[in-house]
Every structure is written in structure tokens, then in C-alpha cells.
């Protein structure tokens, strides 16, 4: 499952016939692996770009809308929407962390980017981790935010919620944000169902894969997050040279993600500054 399936030659093959010119800044679409994938570029060109990967059930605005403009002041930022999410298309296949990672790798190849830093939140962190595992040559640094590599690393309440979740109890702000950029209720329902099925099929990442990571990793979580603090600590002991950052708050509060119950206007700048310190360090 975690083999590197796409080499350089294969990346060239799957992206052949895609858009030849990518915008320096602004929105764009890429044809990757049978998928029309939406992305935006901000603050580019730059040196090593920062790729933002949103959480499950989200658009890029839902997760990164408050922090993206701050990050883009000092670096090239590329934000993408994965299969079935927001403005991206879908294909007749389930959504998986591994296939989304391969989509990201193909997008980077199409954009002519040999390497990137990745900031993934929640499910996006799991996608980013799979990029680092399956395509290690592409990832310089990884911010692994509010996710887990094993089921036991999440609070028990998460899996109870996943077990009983329905479209009806999907957070309304996530529904609203989806429909703002893709006003098709059927596609919203499809995205929800595919994300829910992915989480119900969640499989642990073997510790040995973490020990082999070549990217520099920052493990980021809230102290009242879905991720258990002790799991975040465990990850820093498994991943060579990794760093740990735990901030006060729940899932996504440090980003002021769209479902944050009591948003702090100071958090996006604080979090962006701490992430930038990690990305800019030698």
C-alpha cells in the first residue's frame, strides 16, 4: 500500500497533455491522474514553495482562509483541493490518502516543481505524510498538523463520531463553504460520503515508515485536539529529527479553521510565525 508507485518517468507520463502553462499567481486547474484538480498560487514565484493541504470535508478557504494571506507575505504558497472537494473534480474511485498523495505529486510535476514544503491539516496532514513516504524526493519539510498515524493516536470520541456520522450532522459551516465554491448539493453529499468512507477504512501507518522519513517534520497539535498529545510526542520519537509544537485549543483553533467555536484573531499570525520559523530554519 505504501510503495512508491510513481517514479519520475511515470509522473511525466500521467501529466502529458495537461495544461502547459501555469499561472504565476491566482487560480488554476491541472489534469492529473484522471482528475481535474483545483489549485491556487499566492506570492509566487519563490524558492521552495509551501503546499497547503486542507482538512477532510473542507475547501482550502475552510482550513486556510485566515492564515494563507499571512503565509503568502513571505513565501510562494500553493493551495490545492483534493479529489471531490470544493472546485476539484472527482473520479470513479474512492478517496484515499495514498491516491491523493499521488495526485499532489503529479501536480508538482506538472507545475515543474522538483521539491516543496507541505503544510497539511487533519486529513491533509495524512495526505502530506503519504507524499513524503511515497515520493520522498519531493518533500523538503512537512508540517504534520492535527492528525495521527494510527487509530489509537486519536481520541476515542473521534471514532465514535465516525461510526455514527451522517450527512445531517456534518458541520454546517463546512457545508456552506463547499456550496460557496461549488453550488451543487449532490457533489457536497458525494464529498461527505467519500470522506466518511475513507475514515471508516483508516489504516495505521507502520512505525517503520516513519523511521525512514527523509523530510524534516514539525508535529503540530492543539492541547485539546482530536490527536492525543501523547501520540504527538510519540511521533517525534519515531520520526528522525522531528520537532513538536503544541498550542492551546481544539482541532484547528490555531488556524481559526471555519468551525472554530471561539476564534482568536491573534492565532493565524502566531501560528504562521511559528511555522515560518520551522520552514526557514537550516
pLDDT at residue 18 is higher than 80:
no
pLDDT 10s digits, 162-215 = 999 999 999 999 999 999 999 999 999 999 999 999 999 999 999 999 999 999
Q: Which pLDDT value is given to residue 17?
A: 35
Q: For residue 47, what are the domain limits?
A: 23-280
pLDDT at residue 233 is higher than 50:
yes
Dihedral sign (CA 152, 154, 156, 160): negative
Q: Is 89 contained in some domain? A: yes
Instruction: Kindly report the number of other CB atoms within 10 A of residue 61's CB atom.
Output: 19
Q: Is 151 contained in some domain? A: yes
- Which pLDDT band, with edges at 50, 70 and 90, does 7 fall under? very low
**Domain containing residue 44: CATH number:** 3.40.50.1820
Backbone φ, ψ for residue 139 (5° rounding): -115, 120
Q: Is 37 contained in some domain? A: yes
Cell, residue 273 = 510565525
pLDDT 10s digits, 93-103 = 999 999 999 99
Q: Is 213 contained in some domain? A: yes
pLDDT 10s digits, 48-75 = 999 999 999 999 999 999 999 999 999 9
Q: Name the nearest CA neighbour of 59 among 42, 84, 41.
A: 84
Q: Is 2 contained in some domain? A: no
Please state, rounded to an integer, the average pLDDT across all residues of the chain. Answer: 92
Q: Is 113 contained in some domain? A: yes
Count how many domains the chain has: 1
Least confident of 8-22, 121-135, 195-209: 8-22
pLDDT at residue 3 is higher than 80:
no
Q: Is 6 contained in some domain? A: no
What is the share, in percent, of the chain residues with pLDDT greater than 70?
A: 92
Predicted TM-score (pTM) of the model is 0.91
Q: Is 13 contained in some domain? A: no
Q: Which residues contact 64 (CB under 8 A, 6 or more apart)?
A: 52, 54, 79, 121, 255
Amino acid at each position: 500500500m505504501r510503495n512508491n508507485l510513481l517514479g519520475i518517468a511515470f509522473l511525466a507520463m500521467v501529466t502529458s497533455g495537461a495544461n502547459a502553462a501555469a499561472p504565476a499567481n491566482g487560480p488554476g486547474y491541472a489534469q492529473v491522474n484522471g482528475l481535474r484538480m483545483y489549485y491556487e498560487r499566492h506570492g509566487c514565484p519563490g524558492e521552495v514553495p509551501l503546499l497547503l493541504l486542507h482538512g477532510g470535508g473542507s475547501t482550502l478557504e475552510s482550513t486556510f482562509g485566515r492564515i494563507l494571506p499571512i503565509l503568502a507575505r513571505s513565501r510562494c504558497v500553493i493551495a490545492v483541493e483534493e479529489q471531490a472537494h470544493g472546485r476539484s473534480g472527482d473520479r470513479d474511485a474512492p478517496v484515499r490518502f495514498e491516491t491523493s498523495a499521488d495526485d499532489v505529486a503529479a501536480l508538482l510535476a506538472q507545475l515543474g516543481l522538483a521539491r516543496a514544503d507541505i503544510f497539511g491539516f487533519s486529513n491533509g496532514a495524512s495526505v502530506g505524510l503519504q507524499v513524503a513516504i511515497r515520493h520522498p524526493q519531493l518533500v523538503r519539510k512537512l508540517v504534520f498538523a492535527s492528525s495521527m498515524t494510527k487509530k489509537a493516536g486519536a481520541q476515542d470520541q473521534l471514532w465514535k463520531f465516525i461510526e455514527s456520522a451522517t450527512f445531517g450532522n456534518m458541520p454546517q459551516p463546512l457545508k456552506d463553504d463547499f456550496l460557496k465554491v461549488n453550488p451543487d448539493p449532490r457533489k457536497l453529499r458525494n464529498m461527505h460520503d467519500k470522506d466518511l468512507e475513507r475514515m471508516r477504512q483508516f489504516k495505521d501507518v507502520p512505525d517503520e515508515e516513519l523511521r525512514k522519513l527523509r523530510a524534516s517534520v514539525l508535529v503540530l497539535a492543539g492541547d485539546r485536539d482530536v490527536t492525543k498529545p501523547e501520540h504527538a510526542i510519540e511521533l517525534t520519537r519515531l520520526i528522525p529529527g522531528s520537532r513538536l509544537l503544541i498550542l492551546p485549543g481544539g482541532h484547528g483553533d490555531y488556524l481559526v479553521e471555519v468551525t472554530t467555536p471561539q476564534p482568536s484573531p491573534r492565532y493565524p499570525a502566531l501560528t504562521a510565525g511559528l511555522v515560518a520559523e520551522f520552514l526557514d530554519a537550516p
